[in-house]
C-alpha cells in the first residue's frame, strides 16, 4: 500500500522550535507516512493555509485561531485578550469537553480537524519610551503596532493604546525611527527580530497566550485507519507538549537576557488590564457571536 503523503505548511522558520516539534511529530507517526514540511510561509502565505487545507492542496497546517474565526465567528472568543491565563490553562481547555465542542465545530463547518494548540509564547507590550505603564490609562496615546485587521486593532484598543497596523518587516525600523512607540509580540519574536535593540522596556502585560492550531484536513484524517489516527494524535500530543515546555523555558531565559541587556522588565497591574479588556470585549460586536456563557466556563477551568 502507498504511504500517506502529508504536506505541512507553516509561517514559522525552519530554525524555530516548532519546526523541531514537527520533526518529532514526523518521527512519531513513523514510516507509514511521507511527511514534507514547508516553513517560512514558502508554500502558502500566512493566513492562506486554511483554504489550502479545505481545497485539498495541503494535508496539514499550523493555523492561527484568527483564521478559523474568519469563517466560524464563534471561534473569535478564543482570540480575545485575557482569556487564557497561561499555556497550561490553554492546554486544559483544549483537552476539556468545551474544547472538544469547539474542535467539533471547526471540523463540521470547515472540514479540518484540530490536533491541538501549539503555544508559541505570551504576547507582551514592548515600548521605546521609558514611561512606566501600570494601568490601561497609562497606555493612552501610545502608538502600538498591532498586526493588520480589525480584530487585532481592537485588541490594541482593549489594552488602552492607540493601535496602528504596520508590516511585520517594518516594525524594527518603525521603532528605531519613532513611527511607532511600541509593539506587542511574544519574547521569542522580540529576540528573532532584534526589537530589543530599539526598545527600552517590556511591560509584562501577558495579554494574549499566543497559540496556533496544528490541524489536519478532515479528508486526510478520515482516510486513515483508527490505528493510524491514534498514532497521529499521540505523536501530535507528544510533540506539542515538548514544544510548549521548550517555549516556556525560552521565555524565562529571554526575560533574564533582556534584563541583562538593560531593558526594564516589569509586571503592571494585571487586574486593571484584564478588567478593562474583558469589559471592552463583552461590550463589542465580537462578543455577540460567542457561545453563551463560554467565557465564564473557561475562566472556571
Partner 1 sequence: MNLASPFSISLVVITALALLGLPIGLAMLCGSILYLFMAGLDMGTVAEQFLNGMYSNYVILAVPLFILAAEIMNSGSMTERLLRFCNVLVGRFRGGLAQVNIVQSIIFAGMSGSAIADAAGSGRMMQNMMTREGRYTPSYAAALTAVTAVVGPIIPPSIPLVLYALVSDASIGYLFLAGVMPGLLMSVLQMGQVAWTARRNNFPVEEAVPLREIPRITWRAFPALMMPVILLGCIYTGVTTPTEAAALAAFYALVISVGLYRSLSAKEAYNALLISTKTSASIGMLIAGSLVFNYVVTIENIPNTLRMLLIDWELTPIQFLIMVNVVLLLLGCVLEGTAILLIIVPVFVPTAQALGIDLVHFGVVVVVNIMLGLVTPPYGLLLFIMTNISGAPVKDIIRDCMPFLFWMFVCLGLITFFPEIVLWLPRMAGYGA
Partner 2 sequence: MRSSSARHIFEWLRSRAENIACAMLAAMFVAFMLQIAFRYLLNLPIGWTHELSVVLWIWLVLFGSAFVVRESEEIRFDLIYGPATDRARRVMGFITAAALIVLFGVSLPAVIDYVTFMKVEKSAYMKIRFDYLYSIYIVFAVAMIVRYIWIAWLAVRGQAPEAYDPTKASSGV
Q: Which residues make up the interface to partner 1 (CB under 8 A)?
A: 7, 13-15, 36, 38, 40, 42-48, 51-52, 55-57, 166-167, 169-170, 172-174, 176-180, 192-194, 197-198
Run of H or E including 82: none
Numbers of helices and strands, H then E, in the chain: 12, 9
| Contact with partner 2 (CB under 8 A) among 30, 149, 230, 279 | 149
Contact window for partner 2 (CB under 8 A) among 50-58, 83-91, 223-231, 249-257: 50-58
Please identify, using beta-carbon distances, which residue of 30 and 149 lies nearer to partner 2.
149
Q: Give the C-alpha separation, 299 to 290, whole Å.
A: 14
| Contact with partner 2 (CB under 8 A) among 162, 228, 233, 250 | 162
Please identify, using beta-carbon distances, which residue of 137 and 256 lies nearer to partner 2.
137
| Contact with partner 2 (CB under 8 A) among 88, 165, 194, 267 | 165
Q: CB–CB of 193/70 below 8 Å?
A: no
| Contact with partner 2 (CB under 8 A) among 148, 245, 257, 271 | 148
Q: Give the C-alpha separation, 268 to 266, whole Å.
A: 7
- Here the cell at position 100 is 472538544
Q: CB–CB of 83/99 below 8 Å?
A: no
Among partner 1, partner 2, none, what binds residue 241 when CB lies within 5 to 8 Å by partner kind?
none
Q: Give the C-alpha separation, 146 to 221, whole Å.
A: 35
Among partner 2, partner 1, none, what binds residue 163 when CB lies within 5 to 8 Å by partner kind?
partner 2
- For residue 73, is it left (φ>0), alpha (ψ between -120 and 50) or beta? alpha
Please identify, using beta-carbon distances, which residue of 169 and 300 lies nearer to partner 1.
169
| Contact with partner 2 (CB under 8 A) among 92, 134, 153, 200 | 153
Binding to partner 2, residues 59-118 (CB under 8 A) = 70-71
Q: CB–CB of 22/37 below 8 Å?
A: yes
Q: Give the C-alpha separation, 68 to 41, whole Å.
A: 18
Smallest gap from residue 163 Cβ to partner 2 (A): 7
Among partner 2, partner 1, none, what binds residue 56 when CB lies within 5 to 8 Å by partner kind?
partner 1
3-state helix, strand, coil in the chain (%, to 5): 55, 20, 25
H helix runs in the chain, sequence order? 17-29, 49-54, 65-71, 87-95, 97-110, 150-158, 171-177, 187-192, 218-223, 226-260, 270-283, 294-300
Q: Could you tell me which of 25, 72, 83, 13 has the C-alpha nearest to residue 214?
A: 25
Q: Could you tell me which of 293, 289, 34, 280 has the C-alpha nearest to residue 158?
A: 280
Please identify, using beta-carbon distances, which residue of 28 and 73 lies nearer to partner 2.
73
Contact window for partner 2 (CB under 8 A) among 30-38, 51-59, 187-195, 248-256: 51-59
Binding to partner 2, residues 213-252 (CB under 8 A) = none
Q: Does 284 bind partner 2 (CB under 8 A)?
A: no
| Contact with partner 2 (CB under 8 A) among 79, 91, 124, 164 | 164
Q: Does 4 bind partner 2 (CB under 8 A)?
A: no
The residues of the shown chain that bind partner 2, judged by CB under 8 A, are: 51, 54-55, 70-71, 141, 143, 148-151, 153, 162-165, 179
Amino acid at each position: 500500500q502507498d504511504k500517506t503523503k502529508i504536506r505541512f505548511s507553516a509561517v514559522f522558520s525552519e530554525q524555530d522550535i516548532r519546526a523541531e516539534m514537527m520533526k518529532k511529530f514526523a518521527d512519531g507517526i513513523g514510516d507509514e507516512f511521507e511527511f514534507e514540511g514547508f516553513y517560512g510561509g514558502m508554500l502558502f502565505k500566512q493566513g492562506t493555509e486554511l483554504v489550502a487545507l479545505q481545497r485539498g492542496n495541503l494535508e496539514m497546517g499550523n493555523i492561527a485561531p484568527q483564521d478559523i474565526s474568519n469563517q466560524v465567528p464563534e471561534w473569535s472568543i478564543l482570540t480575545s485578550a485575557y482569556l487564557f491565563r497561561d499555556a497550561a490553562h490553554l492546554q486544559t481547555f483544549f483537552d476539556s469537553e468545551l474544547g472538544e465542542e469547539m474542535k467539533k465545530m471547526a471540523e463540521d463547518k470547515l472540514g479540518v480537524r484540530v490536533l491541538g494548540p501549539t503555544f508559541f509564547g505570551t504576547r507582551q507590550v514592548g515600548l521605546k519610551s521609558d514611561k512606566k505603564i501600570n494601568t490601561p490609562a497609562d497606555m493612552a496615546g501610545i502608538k502600538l503596532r498591532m498586526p493588520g485587521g480589525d480584530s487585532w486593532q481592537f485588541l490594541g484598543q482593549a489594552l488602552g493604546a492607540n493601535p496602528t497596523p504596520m508590516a511585520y518587516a517594518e516594525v524594527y525600523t518603525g521603532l528605531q525611527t519613532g513611527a511607532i512607540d511600541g509593539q506587542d509580540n511574544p519574547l521569542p519574536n522580540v529576540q528573532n527580530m532584534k526589537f530589543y535593540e530599539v526598545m527600552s522596556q517590556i511591560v509584562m502585560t501577558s495579554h494574549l497566550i499566543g497559540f496556533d492550531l496544528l490541524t489536519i484536513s478532515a479528508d486526510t484524517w478520515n482516510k486513515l485507519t483508527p490505528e493510524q489516527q491514534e498514532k497521529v494524535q499521540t505523536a501530535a500530543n507528544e510533540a506539542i507538549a515538548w514544544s510548549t515546555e521548550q517555549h516556556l523555558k525560552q521565555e524565562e531565559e529571554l526575560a533574564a537576557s533582556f534584563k541583562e541587556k538593560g531593558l526594564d522588565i516589569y509586571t503592571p497591574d494585571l487586574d486593571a488590564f484584564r478588567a478593562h479588556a474583558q469589559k471592552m470585549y463583552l461590550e463589542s460586536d465580537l462578543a455577540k457571536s460567542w457561545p453563551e456563557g463560554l467565557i465564564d466556563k473557561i475562566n472556571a477551568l
